[in-house]
Amino acid sequence: MRQSVLPARKEKYPAAFPKLDDGQIAAIAEFAECKTYRDGEVLFRAREVELKFHVIKSGEIEIVDRSGDESRRMLVHEAREFTGDVANRNS
């Protein structure tokens, strides 16, 4: 797998990749379901219509582009970050 193409953007644009504080995580936990995923498990795929909203409590979520001949790591979300469709955070 080729290296990530976006790590510098996380550092350059921290507002685009915010870290949630304890209060924000507690507020989300009131209506969220806590799940544990196995290493390598796919949470969503490109072009899926219903993307879930994921908050990372521990570990990492790796975003991988598999559209070409070689997989390419696009981004790694870490603890206290989130991914998915923010519009679905209430579903």
Tens digit of each residue's pLDDT (9 = 90 or more) over 39-76: 989 988 878 777 788 999 999 998 888 888 988 888 88
The average confidence (pLDDT) of the chain is 82
For the chain, give me the number of helices (H) and strands (E)? Answer: 2, 4
80 or 63, which is more confident: 80
Question: Residue length, the chain?
Answer: 91
Amino acid at 89: R
Q: Which helix (H) or strand (E) covers residue 75, if one does?
A: strand 72-78
Q: Which helix (H) or strand (E) covers residue 10, if one does?
A: helix 7-12
